[in-house]
Structure 1
Amino acid sequence: MCVRRSLIGLTFCTCYLASYLTNKYVLSVLKFTYPTLFQGWQTFVGGLLLHVSWKLGCVEINSSLRSNVLTWLPASVLFVGMIYAGSRALSRLAIPVFLTLHNVAEVIICGYQKCFRKEKTSPAKICSALFLLAAAGCLPFNDSQFDPDGYFWAIIHLLCVGAYKILQKSQKPSALSDIEQQYINYIFSVVLLALASHPTGMRDWPSPRGLEDQAFQGLRNSRFGRIKVISSASWTSRSCISTDSMAAAVPVDF
């Protein structure tokens, strides 16, 4: 049993890091910096996989709990903010820097539990939170590739992660299971990101012709097929490993 748990933990950590590496490659090396399209595709794949798993009987989703969906929508909004800001931050920051800032969300959760819910917190957990906070505070002064925009989006990301987990904990026991919560997150994300992709894509980013030029340049520099395989693996991997469903699952990620 211990060996089995170790293998499961090792597999999760490997997939978790692989998702960040492949997403970083797509966002930075391939210059695919279109978060609404990028995250919309990932959440669509994740929602589709959950829906198919539900229909095949692999997971259980109660479709009669529609009255509880409205109570979960604020968390879904935070989920969209979390993955969007995480994608923007990851495209500008190194992976160790991003993950260090991402983990600061645990400081927010620890402070909330200690100050507002008056829960007993072990000294080891408090020391861990303080070390995380100190490490994040030292990053801007020791980052040779300091990017203000990257840090800005990383702060938005960690605030959304912290607020999401706090909201999730405050609703326990919830009528929605973790799988149902994530299913709602995916559906809401696809709808919201689809609505947001058109105005932001046309106004703030290059034209479709520019996208074609970037795609052609990326294929030529990376010897064609390898990029298509890696980018497809990135979309599928990040979708299947839900940031915060698995960390609460995160998150990141993104």
Structure 2
Amino acid sequence: MAPNSNDDAEVRKALAEDSGSSNPLPPILCYCAASIGMTLINKFVVSGANFSMNFLLLCIQSTVCICCVLILKNARIISFRDFDVQDAKAWFPISFMLVAVIYTGSKSLQYLSIPVYTIFKNLTIILIAYGEVLWFGGRITRLTFVSFIFMVISSVIAAWADVNDAMPTSSVQGVMDSLNIGYFWMLVNCLTSAGYVLSMRKRIKSTGFSDWDSMFYNNMLSIPVLAVFSIVVEDWGSENLARNFPPETRHILLSAIVFSGAAAIGISFTTAWCVRTTSSTTYSMVGALNKLPVAASGMIFFGDVVTFGSVSAIAVGFFAGVLYAIAKNNQKKAETRETIIPLANRN
């Protein structure tokens, strides 16, 4: 008898869902470490005053990442499915959205400090939570809603502190122009991040992709998209290349880009691992709670200003994250109790 495609899809879906019952702590910790590392590396690369070739940067990172995983596969250290046209067609929208997420994130880091960037990522949690209500039948409790209010408050405090800190050193018009650009890219990044995480969770369940499968297809399909955008949009003239990669720091920048491509293996893998093992909202929440070490690293390595406003915004954002975690834990316990059938109601 010929195999039924619907049955095959159900089996792969069940395998993907069953794998989510494992211990969530390892993927969460690994994702935190990878997230901090990638944020610092990307901030270093794009922090140059004249850097404008973000698509080229991302294309190099994806290419290095693919080369690394293929080497690991040939060495039989890891295993993932071979490239398949049908799988590529099914996964291409997810990969395209990942390009948008990474690009808008790198543009945000060009104009915003690391603490402000990480705080505003909280808004993605709200978008994902309401997306899960629409797509996966999720529910938002009162305590969850209160945590969302504190997340918004922390973002407002961060923006207010950001403007006040920049005013004494620059013209008002120059500061506002720079911040407006940064916040615009941050808004787009929040929207695309929510769409990417929700879509990936849904597609993983339907395709039965493993974590390495997701990582491989994400980066492989990103390369042609990034290359085309780089050639069409970015200036490849010798003068612009010299501005983006000054001779005195060229080797350091290129080394950092190559290293970030290798490190991208970690962030791609741990993202898929964390989303599959927990949930898309929990994954985003982990990123929010991760803001303290990320913000601290920005202050230590990049000289981001430490003020009462910036510290207050981080503290409020962290409190919102803890409150949200408590709300989700209480909600999970309540749902577990509801599934238990009382003895008096059993037949």
**Do these two structures clear the TM 0.5 threshold for a shared fold by scoring above it?**
yes
Structure 2: how far apart are the matches of 1:110 and 1:213? 42
Greater per-residue helix proportion? 2
SS of equivalent residue, structure 1 residue 174: helix
Structure 2: how far apart are the matches of 1:109 and 1:24? 25
Q: How far off its partner does 1:188 sit?
A: 1.4
Identify the range of structure 1 (104-113 vs 26-35) with the bigger mean alpha-carbon deviation: 26-35
Matched letter for residue 94 of structure 2: A
Paired residues for 1:100-179 under 5 Å: 100-121=119-140, 125-144=144-163, 145=166, 147-175=179-207, 176-179=209-212
Q: CA RMSD in A?
A: 3.3
Instruction: Kindly indicate whether residue 213 of structure 2 is the aligned counterpart of residue 180 of structure 1.
Output: yes
Q: How far off its partner does 1:61 sit?
A: 1.5
Q: Which residue of 1 aligns with 2:71?
A: 52
Paired residues for 1:220-231 under 5 Å: 230=256
Shift in alpha-carbon separation, 1:43–1:227, aligned structure 2, 3 A: closer
Q: TM-score scaled by structure 2?
A: 0.59
Identify the range of structure 1 (118-127 vs 43-52) with the bigger mean alpha-carbon deviation: 118-127
Paired residues for 1:36-115 under 5 Å: 36-63=55-82, 66-115=85-134
Structure 2: how far apart are the matches of 1:247 and 1:99? 19
Instruction: Kindly indicate whether residue 239 of structure 2 is the aligned counterpart of residue 209 of structure 1.
Output: yes
Q: Give CA deviations for 1:26-51 in whole Å, capped at 9, x if unaligned.
A: 21146433111011111111122222
Structure 1: how far apart are the matches of 2:103 and 2:119? 18
Asked whether the 8 Å contact 1:47–1:186 carries over to 2, the reply is yes
Q: How far off its partner does 1:239 sit?
A: 5.1
Q: Give CA deviations for 1:53-110 in whole Å, capped at 9, x if unaligned.
A: 2222222212275423222211111111111111111111101111122232121111
Asked whether the 8 Å contact 1:45–1:239 carries over to 2, the reply is no
Q: Which residue of 1 aligns with 2:35?
A: 16
How many residue pairs match? The answer is 242
Matched letter for residue 241 of structure 2: L
Structure 1: how far apart are the matches of 2:77 and 2:122? 31
Identify the range of structure 1 (68-77 vs 32-41) with the bigger mean alpha-carbon deviation: 68-77
Q: How far off its partner does 1:134 sit?
A: 2.9
Matched letter for residue 63 of structure 1: D
Q: How far off its partner does 1:154 sit?
A: 1.2
Q: How far off its partner does 1:240 sit?
A: 4.0
Structure number, greater radius of gyration? 2
Asked whether the 8 Å contact 1:108–1:162 carries over to 2, the reply is yes
Asked whether the 8 Å contact 1:107–1:133 carries over to 2, the reply is no
Structure 2: how far apart are the matches of 1:53 and 1:34? 29
Q: Give CA deviations for 1:159-209 in whole Å, capped at 9, x if unaligned.
A: 11100111122235232223212211111111111111112123xx7x323
Q: Which residue of 2 aligns with 1:200?
A: 233
Instruction: Kindly indicate whether residue 288 of structure 2 is the aligned counterpart of residue 245 of structure 1.
Output: no
Asked whether the 8 Å contact 2:132–2:138 carries over to 1, the reply is yes
Structure 2: how far apart are the matches of 1:7 and 1:112? 26
**Identity rate, percent:** 20
What residue ranges of structure 1 are gaps of 5+ in the alignment?
none
Task: Select 1:236's aligned residue among 262, 266, 277.
Answer: 262
Asked whether the 8 Å contact 1:40–1:193 carries over to 2, the reply is yes
Structure 1: how far apart are the matches of 2:132 and 2:141? 12
